[in-house]
Structure 1
Amino acid sequence: MTNTLPSPEYVRNMRLIGHSDQGGRRDGIQVMVQNGYAYIGHLFSRGFTVLDVRDPKNIRFCTYVQAPPNTWNVHLQVHDNLLLVIHGKDVFADAAFADEASYYKASAGAALGTAAPKSARDWDAGMAVYDISKGDSPRRIGFMPVSGGIHRIWYTGGRWAYVSALLDGFSDFIFMTVDMSDPANPREAGRYWLPGMNLAAGETPSWPASSKFGLHHALVDGDIAYGAWRDAGLVVMDVADRSKPKLIKHHNWSPPFQGGTHNCLPLADRDLLVVLDEAVLDDYEDGRKNIWIFDVRVPANPISIATLPEPAEADYRYRGAHYGPHNIHENRPGTFQSSSIIFSTWQNAGVRVHDISNAYSPKEVGALIPAAPTELMDKRPGKKKIIQSCDIFVEQSGLIYVTDYNAGLSVMEFGG
């Protein structure tokens, strides 16, 4: 019997075909799908969940893997029957971060205390590796400790993974290459940070204390890594020697724009780079955030040529909760790949699809805002029952999987 679907708030050229409450843990951040199973990292429930999505109209809960105390598993990656899961501080369970601004307007090292080399901490930190050859039953086979934790991973199979790592004595998350040749024993291979981040070595930041100069994550195309460095913008790195990443170009547009760079998606066949700045505060407090298109024919000289248009059918800025871009589908190998169609989430404005065939004049060609959550998983004061479309993953078949901070997993199709 087909489940009754919650009615979307707004639809244009898209269709909702499936929904899951994720076994009652409706909060989701990153979602990955492989061999008919979805793996979802949680924001408030800690841990991660596995769902059977072989029939997307009748999604089945498989299992939930609990994180250690005070630890979250918000981000994960799947490839080659391996699941890589981050372990980091469960930030929003800490009363000190009930107001998100207290986290996003400070360096992670200062906020979490890891900038002091031997500070006390009560969370598990590093990267866990699971065997998912049996898709519904992850089996942990390895772990790489990282002193302050990991935020996000880029792994598309083979020897190398790339992580944003918080290390003792550093101001914030830096870029680290990881050797996965023995999945049971992943190990650091190399690292890069912006000058000023290595406080333990006596470096001094040149940026304001309220700016978050830390790596969210990097996507790697060949021997070039494109790092989304939050308020520091775009950091392009040469990783031909994985043990010694080196800078090609640091390009920052904050100020005058608002920072928060979250994704850098290379479209190699067109010499383009799609760069998303994330909206992180409620009620439009951090202002307009853009999804940019850069010409990167010369990687050392990225040129901004356009921004994707904002949702036009309504004004979502002061609707409540977060408004603006959060994430884009990252064209992973084995998934839906396009250099002209961009899928993104806009939090209280749902999911947006843009056609960038003309890179100088992008157009919105599809949208779907899922139904508002019936209950809140987010127990912080002042939160409202407003949709917050978060992460997005598009299968090779074209099925679109979208998480939400409170409203479960939605599965969609795009009519284009």
Structure 2
Amino acid sequence: MGTGVGLREVGYLDGAGGGQVVVVDGVAYVGHMRSPHGTSIVDVRDPKNCRELAKIGMPPGTHSHKVRVADGLMVVNHEINNADSSPVPADFRGGIGIYDVSTPVRPREITRWKTEGKGVHRFDFDGRHVYMSPTLEGYVGTIMMIMDLKDPARPQETGRWWMPGQWTAGGEQPSWPQTAHRCHHPLRLGNRLYTSYWLAGFVILDIEDMSKPKLVSGLDWSPPFACPTHTALPLPFDIRGRRYLVVADEDVQRKDAEVAAFMWMVDITDERHPAPVGSFQVEGIDGAPQPTMTACHQPCEKVTGTEIPFAWFAHGLRMIDVKDPHGPREVAHFMPDVPQGTDRVSSNDVTVDDRGLIYLIDRRRGLTIVERL
């Protein structure tokens, strides 16, 4: 059993590692990192006795490591997994899978939307629209696309946005190497999409007219910082009359001696001029060389207050209070046991349920459930 300060383990489900977990009405949906595991559906109403209800597989060389659920629909990504050297079936095409999970024990595939290239990496879903990052023919790297699921059996593209330079079929030329500037994933709040764009930082998009997303502003700190921007999470409330983003860089694609990824607080009160005002790094990551996947990865995208649960890779779960945006601070932490068959913790994603329980998925093995004390 793991150890913590201000957090206590109340349940554990052994199983394949995951990229994302969401919980709806006492059921957890886990998107797994590697095939043959695709998506697991788990009854977590009794966290001490979690019970698998159903599972969906994926073919070799691919994964379905992201999942969202709303209004009885489950959306998962389909993507070629570059970390898996297994041959990909010749007929595989990436995209998204759409399922009816109104009866979680019997998920029913409604349809698949397919695209060219690797597929879809990550996305947001509000029950009607999917805000996602697909590869598309004629573009370099993933772009932002909005998909309408009014009729889930017939997904329809509503709009798209890309960074100038990505549309090579239209004559554009990127000023960056390979796919360094690409959409990681958008998050919607109101008529804005807060969209992480990897080594191009993040952008804020106006989607008042979803058919024509418009750039409001952006902010890019790579360089000088080496790690790519993973998540731009808008707080759904003001703090002392000002609006903020919690921004997470992902601790990958750097040399050991370079600065490890950390969390930023960005003031977006004037959204045309986003301004970094604070940051947080776990104690002990002090500038000494660190292997990648040691530091920051992903905040809980379900915001319930100023305490934000964070999956901090090798440092487990960190609860960061952002009520002072200029000085965010850790108020609790939990370190899971090192999963069997691995050499260290690799906390990848975190979410909360309506009871306040926190779900922490390790990218290599196991789902831990904890409660705040």
Q: TM-score, normalised by structure 2?
A: 0.93
Question: Which of residues 285, 294, 305 is equivalent to 2:266?
Answer: 294
Query: For residue 381 of structure 1, what is the aligned residue in structure 2?
Result: none
What is the CA-CA distance between 1:169 and the residue it aligns to? Answer: 1.9
Residue 220 and residue 412 in structure 1: after superposition, are their counterparts in 2 closer, same or farther (change >3 A)? same
What is the CA-CA distance between 1:201 and the residue it aligns to? Answer: 1.6
Question: Which of residues 329, 351, 361 is equivalent to 1:403?
Answer: 361
Q: Distance in 2 between matches of 1:47 and 1:183?
A: 20
1:77 lines up with 2:45 in the alignment: no
Q: Distance in 1 between matches of 2:256 and 2:347?
A: 16
Q: Secondary structure at the match of 1:200?
A: helix
Q: Distance in 1 between matches of 2:315 and 2:255?
A: 13
Q: Distance in 2 between matches of 1:283 and 1:42?
A: 27
Report 1:59-78 matches (<5 A): 59-78=50-69
1:130 lines up with 2:99 in the alignment: yes
Query: For residue 17 of structure 1, what is the aligned residue in structure 2?
Result: 10
What is the CA-CA distance between 1:124 and the residue it aligns to? Answer: 2.4
Q: Secondary structure at the match of 2:83?
A: helix
Q: Percent identity?
A: 34
Contact 1:235–1:247, Cα closer than 8 Å, also in 2: yes
Residue 401 and residue 373 in structure 1: after superposition, are their counterparts in 2 closer, same or farther (change >3 A)? same
Contact 2:259–2:287, Cα closer than 8 Å, also in 1: no
Question: Which of residues 195, 206, 221 is equivalent to 1:227?
Answer: 195
1:164 lines up with 2:157 in the alignment: no
More helix by share: 1
What is the CA-CA distance between 1:220 and the residue it aligns to? Answer: 0.9
Question: Which of residues 32, 36, 45 is equivalent to 2:22?
Answer: 32
What is the CA-CA distance between 1:235 and the residue it aligns to? Answer: 0.9
Q: TM-score, normalised by structure 1?
A: 0.83
Q: Secondary structure at the match of 2:237?
A: helix
Residue 314 and residue 233 in structure 1: after superposition, are their counterparts in 2 closer, same or farther (change >3 A)? closer
Aligned length: 367
Query: For residue 338 of structure 2, what is the aligned residue in structure 1?
Result: 372
Q: Distance in 1 between matches of 2:347 and 2:255?
A: 15
Query: For residue 357 of structure 1, what is the aligned residue in structure 2?
Result: 323
More strand by share: 2
What is the CA-CA distance between 1:316 and the residue it aligns to? Answer: 10
Give 1:44's aligned amino acid: R
Give 2:85's aligned amino acid: D
What is the CA-CA distance between 1:317 and the residue it aligns to? Answer: 6.6
Query: For residue 125 of structure 2, what is the aligned residue in structure 1?
Result: 155
Q: Distance in 2 between matches of 1:287 and 1:194?
A: 26
Q: Deviations over 1:39-82 (max 9, x none)?
A: 11111234111111110111112222112343210111101011
Question: Which of residues 300, 305, 317 is equivalent to 1:329?
Answer: 300
Contact 1:375–1:406, Cα closer than 8 Å, also in 2: no
Question: Which of residues 250, 253, 262 is equivalent to 2:221?
Answer: 253
Deviates more, 1:133-142 or 1:343-352: 133-142
Give 2:12's aligned amino acid: H
What is the CA-CA distance between 1:320 and the residue it aligns to? Answer: 5.2
Give 2:211's aligned amino acid: S
Query: For residue 105 of structure 1, what is the aligned residue in structure 2?
Result: none
Q: Distance in 1 between matches of 2:23 and 2:288?
A: 31
What is the CA-CA distance between 1:123 and the residue it aligns to? Answer: 3.1
Give 1:236's aligned amino acid: I
Question: Which of residues 283, 306, 309 is equivalent to 1:343?
Answer: 309
Q: Distance in 1 between matches of 2:132 and 2:38?
A: 19
Report 1:76-95 matches (<5 A): 76-94=67-85
Report 1:105-116 matches (<5 A): none
Residue 176 and residue 67 in structure 1: after superposition, are their counterparts in 2 closer, same or farther (change >3 A)? same
Q: Distance in 2 between matches of 1:121 and 1:411?
A: 39
Give 1:81's aligned amino acid: G
Q: Gaps (5+ residues) in structure 1?
A: 1-6, 97-111, 113-119, 377-384
Q: Secondary structure at the match of 1:392?
A: strand
Contact 1:253–1:259, Cα closer than 8 Å, also in 2: no
Give 1:143's aligned amino acid: R
Contact 2:250–2:298, Cα closer than 8 Å, also in 1: yes
1:274 lines up with 2:274 in the alignment: no
Give 1:238's aligned amino acid: D
Q: Deviations over 1:357-415 (max 9, x none)?
A: 11111110011110001114xxxxxxxx1110111011121100011122300001122
What is the CA-CA distance between 1:263 and the residue it aligns to? Answer: 0.8
Q: Distance in 1 between matches of 2:367 and 2:330?
A: 23
CA RMSD for the aligned pairs? 2.2
Contact 1:30–1:391, Cα closer than 8 Å, also in 2: yes
